[in-house]
Amino acid sequence: MHGREGFTQAQYEAAIDLATFLKDKGIGSVHVSTAFKFHGKTYLFSKAEKPIPVSGMMGSSNLGNILDSRQWEVDALFKEENILSELNTLHEELIKKASKDILNWPKPESFIETPDLLKDRIDVDKADEEEYRKIESTLTDRVFDLPLKTEAKSNLNAYFGKGRLATKTGAIRPRHWYEVELIVPIEITQADGYPEQDSIIRVYTDDGWQFNCKIQGDYGKNFRSEGDLRTLGRWIKGRLERAGCLKVGQPVTPEVLQKYGRTTISLKETADPKVWLLDFSR
């Protein structure tokens, strides 16, 4: 699809990084379908000593979302040799006849606009400007500046930390790139007016979104989106990505925040104790 419809800059850079890694390790490549639009989600799994793949999957989901998705997806698992052989031939023919190695493919002269990562999320609503201004008019003078910490394996960089244990299988599931929570210092959580521990608040963001956040952990130190931890992460990291300050797969560092121009997110109180504004504007 990207060969005809284009890439966002983040997609292109991620594909180039992956292609370079695979080439350097001698374990694969990334190809762009150039002959026609191709949106096949077909995965083959091989072993070195086997002439054909040992299993395959075909369906609607992206491979990374199979175990951790709140969307309805359908996939079929194949282990029959005749089907696996046909799928393997399809892959080989696509590579030979209908695609080019992305490292040998001309870099796009322009990129398509990066979509907002919160659009169409089931746990997020769009707040129209009139609604936002009405809530903004009820702001009090109380503002909490939540620090954005850049520890290597937590907070904004939970993706690089230890994965979650699947108790049924014993497998460790890596954390999602957009999984994020903010660890708020005790001097803020115990300050007068900060949301109470285990409370759920509705936040309206400065760029027009609304979703629920939950205050959890010892002395209410964990500030996270309710239900799906990726919601808050999509909002924060998405802003950094669209501003050209962060690439997918790279850690959030002090330099990233410095380039963006913010090291905190402002949590602003309104007249309704269950409604707050979140500000991450530059």
The radius of gyration computed from the CA coordinates of the chain, to the nearest angstrom, equals: 22
- Highest mean pLDDT range out of 2-16, 101-115, 182-196? 182-196
Q: Give the whole-number percent of the chain exceeding pLDDT 70.
A: 94
Q: Is pLDDT larger for residue 132 or for residue 41?
A: 132
In whole numbers, what is the pLDDT of the chain averaged over residues? 88
Integer Cα distance of 202 and 235 in angstroms? 15
Please tell me the predicted confidence (pLDDT) of residue 27.
85
Please tell me the predicted confidence (pLDDT) of residue 4.
66
* CA 202 to each of CA 183, 205, 260: distance values in angstroms, whole numbers, following the listed order: 19, 10, 26
Query: Which is nearest to 1 in space by CA: 28, 37, 30, 41?
Result: 37
Asked whether the predicted pLDDT for residue 206 surpasses 90, the reply is: yes
Please tell me the predicted confidence (pLDDT) of residue 224.
96
**CATH code for residues 2-104:** 3.30.870.10
> What are the domain boundaries of the chain?
2-104, 125-279
- Burial of 194: CB neighbours in 10 Å, binned 0-12, 13-18, 19+: buried
Asked whether the predicted pLDDT for residue 274 surpasses 70, the reply is: yes
Please tell me the predicted confidence (pLDDT) of residue 95.
86
pTM: 0.71
Asked whether the predicted pLDDT for residue 266 surpasses 80, the reply is: yes
What is the mean pLDDT of the segment spanning 60-83? Answer: 73
pLDDT digits (tens, 9 = 90+) for 153-194: 888 999 998 887 777 777 788 888 999 999 999 999 999 999
Question: Nearest 5°: phi and psi at 183?
Answer: -100, 115
Query: Which is nearest to 177 in space by CA: 120, 234, 223, 227?
Result: 234
- Highest mean pLDDT range out of 10-14, 22-26, 39-43, 214-218? 214-218
What is the mean pLDDT of the segment spanning 131-144? Answer: 95
Two structure tokens written together for 65? 């979302």
Asked whether the predicted pLDDT for residue 65 surpasses 70, the reply is: no
Query: Which is nearest to 154 in space by CA: 251, 83, 27?
Result: 251
Asked whether the predicted pLDDT for residue 210 surpasses 70, the reply is: yes
Amino acid code (one letter) for 257: L
Question: Nearest 5°: phi and psi at 46?
Answer: -120, 160
What is the mean pLDDT of the segment spanning 141-149? Answer: 96
